[in-house]
Structure 1
Amino acid sequence: MELAANRWFSSWFDTPYYHILYKNRGDEEAQQFMQNLITFLKLPQGASILDLACGKGRHSVYLNKLGFDVTGVDLSVNSIAYAKQFENENLHFHTHCMCKPMDEQYDAVFNLFTSLGYFEDEKENRESILSIKKEIKEGGWGVIDFMNVVKVIDNLVPSEVKTVQGITFNITRKVENGYIVKDIEFEDEGEEYAYSEKVKAFTLENFLYYFEKAGIELVHTFGNYNLQPYDKIKSDRLILVFK
């Protein structure tokens, strides 16, 4: 078995298998969310946006097409290498860890699709939120799009099997020590692989604690990509809009 490193995201996100497993993530839904968000925030054409933990850059590319100056950053070297094919004078990609602030400030900082809470060290999770605060221009906006852990835990599917592009992924899920853990095992071309995803089960109360420590003002809380109100039990997402 090829086991994930302690910093699981460093290895799993850099494999082609991560992108195979999640290849059916809906671009249409993501684009509608971006439209709703920029309309709500009233971001002017040409505004600067930091897409923090951008992956292969699907949100960044779309935001750039809408007329924004976008910088996408991610820890995955392979994802950034892929995203760089889309670069232009108003779209740039860099390898960067979100727990350290960028040198520049932006009109908006977006952290989308549950891309926070990966670190084992609580200090790094806290520093990630502090970094977002430092990256927002005076009068700018921050947005964190996280899973609604209350609903996720209530509806956790302990095990399932998914076959994508001829690869059968055996997936198990559990809640352990304050983290939602997903174990993924599969075989490809005679080789066996095992990876784990481990995300801190941040609740709204957890975020409010971090925000208070960082001097962040929570302005709006939404529960889905149509920006409807957050409901602790029913909402699919926990979307935090702050200054």
Structure 2
Amino acid sequence: MSEQQKATPVNPPTATATWFGSWFDSPYYHILYKDRNYNEAQLFMDNLTQYLNLPEKAKVLDLACGKGRHSIYLNQLGYNVLGADLSENSIAQASQHTNAQLQFKVHDMRQPFDEKFDAIFNLFTSFGYFENEQDNLTTLQAIRASLTDTGFAVIDFMNVTKVLQTLVPEETKTVDGIDFNLKRYLKDGYIYKEIHFTDQGQEFHYTEKVKALTLADFETLMEQAGIYLLDLFGDYKLKKFYQNQSDRLIMLFK
């Protein structure tokens, strides 16, 4: 659960950092999660685009794209890709890879786009971290409004049931000489990860936070948003979803 966020440095350089912006924009976010599996991400994109049978040069939106690892690979597969994210720092880094068929922009996922897409991908649990739960429905409505009539959308979310069964309450990860002390717990329907560490004599405390949305929760939200759930997968190889066993909850809808 590395994609959700609420962040407050103990000694912040400014007092104006927002909960949804400061952790993603922090260099420590990218340090802690530097060992993500890029081969697995590419395998997922291969399997997904083949399953959807997207036409050549289809318009694809990578919603909450981070530094653009999925966007860049989707573009290499031949698609016309827009990567969008709320983090200005992430978009600045991703934009180094811009070309005629690959663009990036700062965008709030709660807002629909001025253009429509053949496919919209929201990947790696980049959903459910808003303080106001109504924003989850607003986001789904924005996705619906940004799809073409024949377009598909995919949300790749954690499987909350398995996450809660296997939650590690406390651990320490050392990356680039920094000891990240991690604490995880469920509270008020949200899964939290508190991150404490010290770097160059300064203490930091960030808190990732994501709504513990189950398949039933998504089904309710999708019905309210006028979205039709077409298929479910339980991992990046697109195997069947099993509530107590699958690592992921991957939902295909239109």
Aligned residue number for residue 229 of structure 1: 240
Aligned residue number for residue 82 of structure 1: 93
Shift of 1:9: 2.8
Aligned residue number for residue 118 of structure 1: 129
**Residues 1:109 and 2:120 are matched in the alignment:** yes
* Correspondence for 2:66 among 42, 51, 55: 55
Unaligned stretches of 5+ residues in structure 2: 1-9
**Residues 1:42 and 2:69 are matched in the alignment:** no
Aligned residue number for residue 9 of structure 1: 20
Aligned residue number for residue 178 of structure 2: 167
Q: What amino acid maps onto 2:77 in structure 1?
A: L
Aligned residue number for residue 205 of structure 1: 216
- Identity rate, percent: 55
Aligned residue number for residue 142 of structure 1: 153
SS of 2:20's equivalent in the other structure is helix
**Residues 1:30 and 2:41 are matched in the alignment:** yes
Aligned residue number for residue 5 of structure 2: none
Counterpart contact for 1:5–1:11, Cα < 8 Å: no
Shift of 1:155: 0.6
SS of 1:30's equivalent in the other structure is helix
CA deviations over 1:89-118 (Å, ceiling 9, x no partner): 100000001011111110000000000001
Q: Structure 1: how far apart are the matches of 2:213 and 2:141?
A: 16
Q: Structure 2: how far apart are the matches of 1:94 and 1:2?
A: 30
**Residues 1:127 and 2:134 are matched in the alignment:** no
* Correspondence for 2:228 among 217, 223, 228: 217
Q: Could you list the structure 1 runs, at least 4 aligned residues long, displaced by more than 4 angstroms after superposition.
A: 3-7
TM-score (norm 2): 0.94
Q: What amino acid maps onto 1:61 in structure 2?
A: I
Q: What amino acid maps onto 1:53 in structure 2?
A: A
CA deviations over 1:154-184 (Å, ceiling 9, x no partner): 1100000000011110000000100000000
**Residues 1:196 and 2:207 are matched in the alignment:** yes
CA deviations over 1:29-88 (Å, ceiling 9, x no partner): 000000000000000110000000000000000000000000000000000000000000
Counterpart contact for 1:31–1:59, Cα < 8 Å: yes
Q: What amino acid maps onto 1:145 in structure 2?
A: D
Aligned residue number for residue 76 of structure 2: 65
Shift of 1:123: 1.6
Q: What amino acid maps onto 2:100 in structure 1?
A: E
Unaligned stretches of 5+ residues in structure 1: none
SS of 2:221's equivalent in the other structure is helix
Q: Structure 2: how far apart are the matches of 1:33 and 1:210?
A: 25
Aligned residue number for residue 168 of structure 2: 157
